[in-house]
């Protein structure tokens, strides 16, 4: 390993790249063991990464622009952290939903229940169909092969596929592996949001006492067995005995940060077999509420499922007239090229068709574009066609005993989740400890 240009601005035992929850969890675990000096370096001017609790865009309300839920309240380590920092949680109820057809007419609840049952049967049929093939194929192809394209065009089935499944996995069914798309684990006990203060409360709690250097953009990571790590940045070079890299899957795939020597070929291949998903949110605030105030979710079976067809009524937990909708699948990519004005027009057309033709424009609107965020380049990982659990495990493997990896994309059991990212940080810290 040879030192690159730039002065050594800090020398320490461990450098953690990234102040998302995986990096902070790793840092806290190392500090808890009481043995290591740790510096976290972060490209943004805030901690959190893909957890972004926005306290400035909407008056007196904190809105989570990225990760928002604790998924599974039973035995989830994030629940304990929330209790430690006294963060209030609000349990959301997936059954508290009103569905509307393309004409804006309310649909019967039993219609949705019947469609849910039919969709689950279709997924089981797709699994059987895919298992009869010699190679992996997309979930959409498996569904078409087992249930037929015509059945996939049913409005409520299209809604299930987009607003539930494609939302959960962050990718269109045409990209999801039919063999392994749901090959992970989950905690039970329902899901919860943070109604007062956002997800960031947990990160503020676990980051206490940790040195975090902000606005430090990593350019390259040089490593070598027995010679440690040099991390070249826009502010100079950091030198350490070990490093934990928590760069997101999208950033690693884009090659924005160079590794010297290059990462092992098996790791590079594994990283590129994984999918980098994308979900974008649209948050709208209004002077008055023109939707049913006590309903948690609204679903709309219009002609473009996944394009603002699922709405969260944030008034239930914020007390403000706020709706949150999402762009999913291919629509998540498309929204990044649109102006806020065009997005607003499309969302309001749907809301006016469903609720009130005279509904006012929002007083405030915010559109996320996670694919354009250079320190994220996407939302969360998924099992792309051809990917397996092994790829997540290879993505997590240390290199040369000095370079370790964490992040939701390194969690085979809980990929795509905040708790998966958190647990990966603890795992990486333990691996470092064991290798020292």
* Chain segment 62-76, per-residue pLDDT in tens: 999 999 999 999 999
Q: What is the CATH number of domain 8-47+207-276+378-435?
A: 3.50.50.60
Q: Over the stretch 166-189, which tens digit does the pLDDT of each residue have?
A: 999 999 999 999 999 999 999 999
**Whether pLDDT at 1 is above 50:** no
User: In degrees rounded to 5, what are phi and psi of residue 246?
Assistant: -115, 25
pLDDT bracket for residue 6 (50, 70, 90)? low
Q: What is the pLDDT of residues 33-54, one digit of tens each?
A: 878 999 999 999 999 999 999 9
Burial class (CB in 10 A: 0-12, 13-18, 19+), 97: middle
Segment 194-222, tens digit of pLDDT: 999 999 999 999 999 999 999 999 999 99
As annotated, the binding site includes 22, 218
Task: Render pLDDT for 219-254 as a digit per residue (tens, 0 to 9).
Answer: 999 999 989 999 999 999 999 999 999 999 999 999
H or E element, residue 31 = helix 21-32
Residue 336 has pLDDT above 50, yes or no: yes
Cβ-based burial of 205 (10 A; exposed 0-12, middle 13-18, buried ≥19): middle
Mean pLDDT of 333-348: 97
Reported as a single tens digit per residue, the pLDDT across 292-332 is: 999 999 999 998 989 999 999 999 999 999 999 999 989 99
Q: How confident is the model at residue 5 (pLDDT cuts 50, 70, 90)?
A: low
Q: Is the pLDDT of residue 4 over 60?
A: no
280-285/275-276 β-pairing: unpaired
pLDDT level of residue 110 (50, 70, 90 thresholds): very high
Of all residues in the chain, the percent with pLDDT exceeding 70 is: 99
pLDDT band at 436 (very low <50, low <70, confident <90, very high): confident
User: Region 82-89: what's the mean pLDDT?
Assistant: 98
For residue 170, which phi and psi values (nearest 5 degrees)?
A: 75, 20
Output the known binding site for FAD.
22, 218
pLDDT, position 226: 87
pLDDT at 363 over 60: yes
Q: Residue 260 has which token pair?
A: 């010297």
Is 14 in contact with 243 (CB distance < 8 Å)? Answer: yes
The DSSP secondary-structure symbol of 207 reads T
Residue partners of 273: CB distance under 8 A and separation at least 6: 384, 386, 387, 388, 391
pTM, whole model, 2 decimals? 0.96
């Amino acid at each position: 390993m040879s030192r690159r240009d730039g002065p050594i601005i800090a020398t320490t035992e461990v450098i953690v790249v990234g102040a998302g929850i995986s990096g902070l969890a790793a840092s806290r675990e190392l500090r808890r063991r009481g043995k290591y000096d740790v510096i976290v370096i972060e490209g943004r001017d805030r901690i959190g990464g893909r957890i972004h609790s926005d306290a400035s865009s909407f008056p007196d309300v904190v809105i989570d622009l990225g990760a928002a839920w604790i998924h599974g309240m039973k035995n989830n380590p994030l629940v304990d952290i929330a209790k430690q920092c006294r963060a209030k949680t609000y349990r959301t109820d997936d059954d508290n939903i009103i569905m509307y057809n393309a004409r804006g007419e309310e649909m019967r609840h039993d219609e949705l229940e019947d469609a849910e049952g039919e969709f689950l049967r279709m997924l089981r049929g797709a699994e059987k169909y895919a298992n009869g093939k010699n190679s992996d194929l997309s979930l959409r192809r498996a569904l078409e092969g087992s249930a037929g394209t015509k059945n996939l065009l049913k409005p409520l089935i299209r809604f299930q596929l987009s607003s539930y499944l494609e939302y959960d996995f962050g990718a269109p069914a045409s990209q999801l592996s039919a063999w392994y798309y749901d090959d992970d684990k989950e905690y039970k006990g329902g899901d919860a949001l943070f109604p007062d203060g956002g997800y960031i409360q947990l990160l503020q709690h676990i980051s206490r006492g940790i040195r975090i250097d902000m606005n430090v953009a990593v350019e390259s990571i040089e490593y070598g067995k027995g010679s440690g790590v040099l991390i070249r940045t826009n502010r100079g070079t950091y030198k350490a005995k070990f490093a934990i890299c928590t760069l997101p899957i999208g950033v690693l795939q884009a090659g924005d940060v160079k590794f010297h020597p290059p990462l092992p070929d098996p790791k590079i291949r594994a990283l590129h077999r994984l999918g980098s998903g994308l979900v974008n949110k649209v948050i709208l605030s209004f002077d008055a509420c023109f939707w049913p105030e006590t309903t948690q979710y609204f679903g709309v079976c219009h002609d473009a499922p996944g394009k603002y067809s699922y709405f969260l009524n944030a008034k239930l937990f914020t007390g403000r007239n706020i709706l949150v909708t999402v762009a999913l699948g291919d629509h998540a990519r498309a929204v990044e090229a649109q102006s806020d004005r065009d997005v607003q027009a499309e969302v309001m057309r749907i809301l006016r068709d469903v609720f009130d033709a005279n509904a006012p424009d929002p007083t405030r609107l915010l559109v996320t574009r996670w694919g354009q965020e250079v320190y994220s380049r996407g939302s969360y990982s998924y099992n792309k066609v051809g990917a397996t659990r092994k790829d997540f495990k290879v993505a997590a493997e240390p290199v040369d005993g000095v370079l370790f990896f964490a992040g939701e994309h390194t969690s085979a059991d809980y990929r795509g989740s905040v708790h998966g990212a958190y647990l990966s940080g603890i795992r990486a810290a333990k691996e470092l400890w064991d290798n020292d």
